[in-house]
A and B are shown apart, each in its own frame.
Chain A
Amino acid sequence: MAANDGVQDLHLVNLVKSFGDFVAVDDLTLTIPAGSFFALLGPSGCGKTTTLRMVAGLEDPTSGQIMLGSTDITNEKPYKRHVNTVFQSYALFPHLDIFENVAFGLRRRGIKDVTGPVNAMLDLVELGPMARRKPAQLSGGQQQRVAVARALINQPGVLLLDEPLGALDLKLRRQMQIELKRIQTEVGTTFVHVTHDQEEAMTMADTVAVMNKGRIEQMGAPVDIYELPRTAFVANFLGQSNTVAGTVSGRSGSDLVVNAYGASFTVPSARSTRQDGAILVGVRPEKLSVASAGGAVPDRSNRVTGKVTDASFTGVSTQYLVMTSWGDEWTVFEQNRSADILRPGDEVVMHWAPEHTFGLDVPSES
């Protein structure tokens, strides 16, 4: 357990929240290490915001426990919890100026001398000169930074961010991602960031938990989850994947041999959640290479033949859509190293190294 004051591990233990028959958060158990930048990633309605609101105390869990360090805060009133939130729409107090917005939490806790800390915090978010403006006079990005400052000044055990960048345009969002990451590194507080933007989660967080239907599908460092998704949902929600359903037909050393539509694929058994029976074979689009049908393909490669249906040149790379022989559309990102671009209608063979392949359980529905 982290010993330094304030920053402590956050534990969610068997947390459940149901609204009538609908289970928003389904038996969630999770430890968020002190000082980490943690992203809860998932589509809308997956329970990520409900989870965040339970930690903030804005929603009562149906069952389960929330612990900050060794303290059980499950039933603590929100205004007594040492947890602060950056709200989705910022929820800045429109009648107070920026200084008073940031000072709000300190004043409520009876701290008399707020000038020093507030100015230091405004400097951290680079809003010092704006102290006497009202929130309505600030741009979206500036309001966002006020919201962060207002929460962070209380030195919370955990800072919760509820889709904080959702209202910003793309360019500003990129800028704020870097800014938030910088602030987090500077203050060392645990950040729990809820988002549906997989790129945002991967850029900022050191740990990403992908949520779906109230449960965590997979959790880990962004690069680990991306390179080795463990469920079909993760494979498609975090980045793109090409998949084909098949059957394990045998083993070859430490590899599985999978048959699908008459073709044979090699899947390292350590990269597969299934060792026999029905299996979903997958590969990321940038791991694929395309060659004209009959072209040279390295030995041992997995291969899929098909016909190009679309080619979009984006400068650094070309994105191909290829119709496989069994009628699925696969995506290929190919770097523009050679000048010859394949055209729609071209017969091609896509190939990739077995160590880039992953094997998944076939999802029960569809």
Chain B
Amino acid sequence: MPALAPSAGGSAGVVVSGAAAQRRPRTAYLLLIPGIAWLTIFFVVPLISLFFTSLQAPTGKSGVYQPAFEVSNYLVAIQEYWPTFVKSFIYSGIATVLALVIAYPLAYFIAFRAGKWRALLLVLVVAPFFASFLLRTYAWRTILADEGFITSFFNALHLLPENRILNTPIAVVLGLTYNFLPFMILPLYAALERIDPRLIEAAGDLYASPFTGFRKVIWPLSLPGVVAGTLLTFIPASGDYINATLLGAPSDRMVGNAIQTNFLQFRDYPIASALSFILMAIILTVVFVYIRRAGTEDLV
């Protein structure tokens, strides 16, 4: 061992060189402390607390629960709310696919064709963040209102089954798509921007039509952005309740709404907590399977 070179004074030399060797990792750990402390206090502790809440039993008094090990809370939550879960994942799934379809050509254009307009377009993508999420979703109530231009237009074409958009699942999905679109565009742009445009020329030079060139070269190279973008859209969309509350009918409620009403209206904290954990478990499973698949040749 090179550390054992105590020419000056026996064990003292070992201690000194040991300390020098440790200095770098210790600095790294020091830098981690604020983040770890923050996450411990505001994430891990509440999460544990939430987990115990999800197992509490009623005391008979409304809104007051006692520590217990009521695993049946989870069964009740699933039995009562599984259609809501299914609906949530259908809405957020459709919104994610829509966002991908809208965002990919846009990100492609910004990355390869925008030239001097690139910076401006990126600012425009982020611009909605300057206004509140809530406010923007309210604005969609006006845009999709029953007497509004868009609804009238589609009604004139007899394309709307319920003769309206607001307070239907369509409005919820549109709202989710709109609100999470930047989270799809930005990672896609980041992935596409890293691709050398000469690869497109090289593919063309090697007998790939523009479409084949895209399929065999650009798409596989942009996959990291596709994975990041779909996750950043799908995860928050699955747990969202604002869009369903403001744009949907009561029957369009998503899991987020169920958690909110159980916590704040019914004051049924154990069921609300159990719903949170079930949502988390499902999302984690989906993400895990998705990333595993994306990491292999399956998606490439």
Q: Contact residues of A with B, CB < 8 Å?
A: 56-58, 77-80, 83-85, 87, 89, 91-95, 104-105, 108-109, 150-151, 154
Contacts and interface: CB of A to CB of B under 8 A. Distances in A.
Main secondary structure of the interface of B (DSSP, over half): helix
Contact of B208 (A57, A79, A83, A87): A79
A56 B202 CA distance: 10
A89 B220 contact: no
Given A58-B201, A78-B204, A79-B204, A91 B196 contact: yes
Given A89-B198, A91-B201, A95-B221, A84 B206 contact: yes
Nearest to B202: A91
Contacts of B198: 87, 89, 91
Interface string B119-140: 0000000000000000000000
B199 A91 contact: yes
Interface string B203-246: 11111111011001100110000000000000000000000000
22 contacts: A56-B205, A77-B204, A78-B204, A78-B205, A79-B204, A79-B205, A79-B207, A79-B209, A83-B205, A84-B205, A85-B201, A87-B198, A87-B202, A91-B198, A91-B201, A93-B202, A95-B221, A104-B203, A104-B208, A108-B212, A150-B206, A151-B206
A338 B220 CA distance: 67
Interface residues of B, number: 20
B200 to A, nearest CB: 9
Contacts of B210: 79
**Which among A57, A78, A84, A87 has the greatest number of chain B C-beta atoms within 10 A?**
A78
Q: 3 closest A-B pairs (Cβ-Cβ)?
A: A91-B202, A108-B207, A105-B206
Contact of A109 (B196, B201, B205, B207): B207
Contact of B217 (A56, A83, A93): A93
B300 interface: yes
A154 B207 contact: yes
Given A91-B196, A95-B220, A108-B212, A85 B205 contact: yes
Contacts of A150: 206
Interface of B: 196, 198-199, 201-210, 212-213, 216-217, 220-221, 300
A79 B208 CA distance: 6
Nearest to B210: A79
A108 B208 contact: yes
B212 A94 contact: no
A151 B212 CA distance: 18
**Which among B199, B207, B209, B217 has the greatest number of chain A C-beta atoms within 10 A?**
B207
Contacts of A104: 203, 206, 208, 216
A93 B213 CA distance: 11
